[in-house]
Amino acid sequence: MPLRAVYFVPSDAEPLPDRQERLGRVMKYVQDFYRKGMFQNRFGNKTFALEWDKPARLKLYTVNGKKRQTEYGRSDAWVVRDEVRDALKSKYGIDINDEVVVIFQVLLKWENGKAVELGPYVGSGSPYSGTAWVYDDKRLDAALLSSTEPGGYYGRPCSIGQFNTHYIGGIAHELGHAFSLPHECENDEERKTKGYSLMGGGNHTFGQELRHQGLGTFLSPASALRLSKVRAFSGDLPGMRERAYWTFKDLKAVQKDKTKNSFVLSGRVEASPKLAGIIAYNDNGTIGADYDAKTFVGEVSANGTFQVDVKELENVPYQLRLCGVHENGAVSVLSADYAVKDGIADLSAVNSAVPLDILRKLFRVGNTGEIENIARKYADDEELQAKCRFLIRLLNVPKTFDAALLPEDVRRADLSFADFTKAETGWGNFRRAHVPEDVFIQIGKTFFDSGLYAHAPSVYKIELRGKWTKFDFVYGLQNGYDGPVRFALKGDGKEWFRSDVVKDHNVHRQSVNIKDVQTLELLTESAAENGNSGAWAVWAEPVLSR
């Protein structure tokens, strides 16, 4: 299945000259980069296919935008995509939901020698379809990557070659997301010998070796493993769109020698479809962005046993995300938070990750009996016991209440199960006392058994009718997601509280006087330039009092 290249032209712009030839050179260079990376990682000469009008002229599907250049904002990825979707369907009979599409947008505007990014520059996708939003510019040309001549701009004046490094590197990077690749970082030794990982900071070093300005960018073993099972690289795989499952029969993390700054993760897993390999994403919790997860790859034997060596530990908190890559391209993920102090890794949370994963699955099917069995089996684990009790209570479906009608002698009320006149979230349905996928509300090391899932942008609106005087709450980001987000509180349309931008996993507590407030609104907003990916805000322990 070839990648589709779309050329998106706002209503007040014109297509740029030589675009089919220039972008043909760009996409051929990116195509060859992926081919080289796959070969170096022992997956053969796999790469994505392209469509050509004729040799050296990339086939472009032109879409005329409905709005002017300046009317497309940085967060308007889905606005652009919707226009492209409709045009591809009506003009060409192409369903964008079944394709990998790169959208070259005429949305990089030059003002006084500076390149101003107007529209979205991002990528998103699954193993079988996806979209990358990038820019076109008359200076964009793979033939100019080696140029040291001035005339480029990226944050500041730069050479033409550096301009192409950033923007062609960006195309390769956002295409990675369209192919379903997550962010990840190179290991220390890789940085010394190979440069920067494409899905880390490699979009800013792409092709710099042609100017003798660095080692450039490489495709990591983790990215190559995942790409080896995506549709754009391997065609239609058996069961491509089927949901994948895995069940751990054993999982153990052991630090054999703290002086080596590593630990060994081993176990046995049953999976359907079977696994092509396992990746450990070891994410430094002190770094807000998600570009810093170092990756370590392990093979899976015929009977499901595996071993992954997780290295280069520092004295910081981590999130470990264990990712199984299935033969149909789907992935399964198991995560756990742990910390390293004085060279010693506290791996207790990693070693309890399997029973917690079982609890999540039991919760989804409503099996309280098996949850009680887990509680008995792990009687010595206090946190696991607390989570078992919580799930059983949640499955008994607590009744909701009208906060304005509670008797005066009720002095406190947890809003987790209050009646709301409006409850909307930016992704998925609203949840009471839990979140999608992870189930447990977890901010840093703290588990909360009450709260509201509030992926930004979100709103929870409740009628109080002046019956309450104070609102105490915790706000923060769900573990595993980096936002950034803002939290706000409105009473009768007036803003009573607004947080700073939150992009850490610290517990933030706040108390607000709400005397005489008739209508209360709990709001979250994405503080990111490009959409709301990762904006998993949560309100925890939201308690009214009087």
Helix (H) or strand (E) holding 118: none
Q: How confident is the model at residue 290 (pLDDT cuts 50, 70, 90)?
A: low
* pLDDT greater than 70 at residue 506: yes
Q: How confident is the model at residue 289 (pLDDT cuts 50, 70, 90)?
A: low
- Residue 348's pLDDT is 87
pLDDT tens digits for range 335-351 = 888 999 999 999 988 98
Q: Which amino acid is at 213?
A: Q
For residues 153 and 135, give the distance between their C-alpha atoms in angstroms, rounded to a whole number. Answer: 14
pLDDT tens digits for range 122-140 = 999 999 999 999 999 999 9
Q: What is the pairing mode between strands 294-298 and 331-341?
A: unpaired
pLDDT over 90 percentage in the chain: 83
* pLDDT greater than 90 at residue 30: yes
The two tokens of residue 105 are 């947008």
* pLDDT greater than 90 at residue 235: yes
User: Nearest 5°: phi and psi at 499?
Assistant: -85, 165
Q: How confident is the model at residue 498 (pLDDT cuts 50, 70, 90)?
A: very high
Distances (CA, A) of 382 to 8, 371, 387: 56, 15, 9
- Residue 288's pLDDT is 64
Inter-residue contact 516 to 536 (CB < 8 Å): no
For residues 355 and 252, give the distance between their C-alpha atoms in angstroms, rounded to a whole number. Answer: 12
pLDDT tens digits for range 296-349 = 999 999 999 999 999 999 999 898 999 999 999 999 988 888 999 999 999 988
- If one counts every other C-beta atom within 10 angstroms of the C-beta of residue 144, the result is 22
- If one counts every other C-beta atom within 10 angstroms of the C-beta of residue 249, the result is 12
Q: Is the peptide bond before 457 cis (omega within 30 degrees of 0)?
A: yes
Q: Which amino acid is at 97?
A: N
For residues 419 and 403, give the distance between their C-alpha atoms in angstroms, rounded to a whole number. Answer: 7
pLDDT tens digits for range 209-230 = 999 999 999 999 999 999 999 9
pLDDT tens digits for range 153-206 = 999 999 999 999 999 999 999 999 999 999 999 999 999 999 999 999 999 999
- When pLDDT is averaged across residues 436-441 and rounded to a whole number, the result is 91
HSE-up of residue 544 (Cα within 13 Å, Cβ side)? 30
The two tokens of residue 293 are 């997860």
For residues 472 and 166, give the distance between their C-alpha atoms in angstroms, rounded to a whole number. Answer: 46
- Residue 330's pLDDT is 94
| Structural domains in the chain plus CATH codes | 4-234 (3.40.390), 245-351 (2.60.40.10), 361-395 (no CATH), 403-545 (2.60.120.1060)
- Residue 516's pLDDT is 95
With tokens 């810093």, the residue in question is 292
- When pLDDT is averaged across residues 426-452 and rounded to a whole number, the result is 92
- When pLDDT is averaged across residues 491-506 and rounded to a whole number, the result is 93
Mean model confidence pLDDT for the chain: 94
Q: Is the peptide bond before 484 cis (omega within 30 degrees of 0)?
A: yes
Inter-residue contact 418 to 462 (CB < 8 Å): yes
Angle between helices 368-377 and 382-395 (to 10 degrees): 170
